[in-house]
Amino acid sequence: MIKTDVIIVGSGLAALQLARQLQEQLNVMIITKNKVRDSNSYLAQGGIAAPVGKEDKVGLHTEDTLTAGCHHQHEHIVKNVIRDGKNIMKSLIGDGAPFDRKSNGDLALGMEGAHSIARILHSGGDQTGRYMVEYLLNTLDEKVWFVEGEMVFELVKDTRGHCCGVKTKLVDGSIKYYSAPHVVLATGGAGAVYSSNSNARTATGDGMALAFRAGAALSDMEFIQFHPTLLYLDGASRGLISEAVRGEGALLIDEKGERIMEGVHPQLELAPRHIVAERINGERLSGKKIYLDISPVKDFEIKFPSITKMCKKHHISLSEGRIPVSPGCHFTMGGIMTDEFGKSTIEGLYAIGEVACTGLHGANRLASNSLLEGLVFGERLAKHLITANINVSAVKTDSKPYGNPPELNIKRNELKERMMKDVGIIRSEQSLTRHLNWLNAQSLSYKTELDPLSQSDIQTYLMWVVSTLITQGALVRTESRGGHIRSDYPGENDEEWFKRSILLIKNNHQLKVVHDEQHQIEIYA
């Protein structure tokens, strides 16, 4: 068993920020199932939202975040994250981080949906994620050890129930053990469990499934954000068209050239994402083709080099000014329930970034708040871990087998297609029950032993777990709020659901609903 001080699972912005802050004090190991740069962070076209402009304020950014999230948050959590984020961004700017600037040297602050003021910092136009990941990677030293190509498939706990390490599966089927008093999940979201999505193919919700199997509480899994504008060709999504394009003036039109957001929302194309996505979805279901009209955007190819490259790859003529679009899964608002430092409900286990449910995003994430969240919680958790008591030698693993290995007959592509159809932009009791019945018919269990399985089969199994959790949460929440839209419950039900979260906790594989005194609903699965 290989020992270190801190294990970080995942290699996105939150993971790298944490490692950067820890490296002077502790030995850090970053484990990723693929390559270090295979993450949603690296693909991020949008920027980082922060109130660094002269006319912007923490309170204004807070209000925009609460409004976008349908007030399914606690104001103090949102305000504190944005306050800390502002300070971090000013520090990064002062350190020379590569943010875009105007010809006069001022920061070029962009506008995106549901923001009331231009506050989005970008790098390389639409390449913010790649630029920031490379920037953080270049700040790391030899005390940060990267392990690539190993898939974490189980969290190891000691006899006290504390998380003390991980088990990984290699491509050749072998298993390795790594030990640390602190294990941090920074594995990203679960967008890739949907057939149409903007995510890296590795974003399959592994960390959520691992934490759930270990007994940690998950929250708000039903809130899934569907990005309104994915490039759509030949019946499939081909990549993300950043909201910043609409922020620069692009319009949503049908094949006749008529705008589809007029009369729908005062902010038109820059309305909250769930509203725009629902509108496009409805128009497409009526038989219309929807396009992003980029003709109002000046210097499109200069401002959006990666989108330009993607369009040219798929033979989209930018001179014609129309990019065919359709919504697709983009962001997971829910995840592993954490406190203000990133601590989960299991001692020794932490979660930061999209895998976590911190209370910032609510029912619908405000554009470009995700990278800010990763930076904030990476720094917060580092401060906590540096002062925490570390005693690696006291760890004793308790490795009890789960039971007999399964025959894994589930088809991964079928699961993704069913998720898009039945647990997608619009849900209902009928569609959710249909999908849950199909999941249950796969004869899998939350206690399934994974040791004998291949990397590929483990991946499929973990996707089954996450799909089940999203579906269970969506079935229980009998209202429409933010990224959770029910055709059979079309409105918000504040009397029953305002600020109520659905917690998912593993307990003897039995399903029951409990109302607790904190106005949360717990599902024990």
Catalytic residues: 273
Cα–Cα distance measured from residue 99 to residue 109, given in angstroms and rounded to the nearest whole number: 10
Could you give the CA distance from residue 259 to residue 253 in angstroms, rounded to a whole number?
A: 4
Instruction: Spell out the residues 6+ positions from residue 421 whose beta carbon is closer than 8 angstroms to its own.
Output: 431
Do β-strands 2-3 and 175-179 pair in parallel, antiparallel, or remain unpaired?
parallel
- Quick check: helix, strand or coil at residue 239? strand
Within 13 Å of residue 454, how many CA atoms lie on the same side as its CB?
Answer: 7
Assess contact for 392 and 181: CB atoms under 8 A: yes
Q: How many alpha carbons lie under 13 Å from residue 457 in its C-beta half-sphere?
A: 15
Alpha-carbon dihedral sign for residues 270, 272, 275, 278:
positive
* Distances from the Cα of 483 to the Cα of 263, 318, 340, 444, 495, angstroms: 21, 31, 23, 28, 19
Instruction: Assess contact for 409 and 442: CB atoms under 8 A.
Output: yes
Sheet holding 356-357, edge to edge: 356-357, 335-337, 218-219, 502-505, 521-524, 512-515
What is the number of other CB atoms lying within 10 angstroms of the CB of residue 462?
A: 24
User: How many angstroms separate the CA atoms of 331 and 355, rounded?
Assistant: 10
Q: Which distant-in-sequence residues (6+ apart) come within 8 Å of 117 by Cβ?
A: 53, 55, 56, 60, 111
User: Distance between CA 186 and CA 352 in Å, rounded?
Assistant: 5
Amino acid (one-letter) located at 337: M
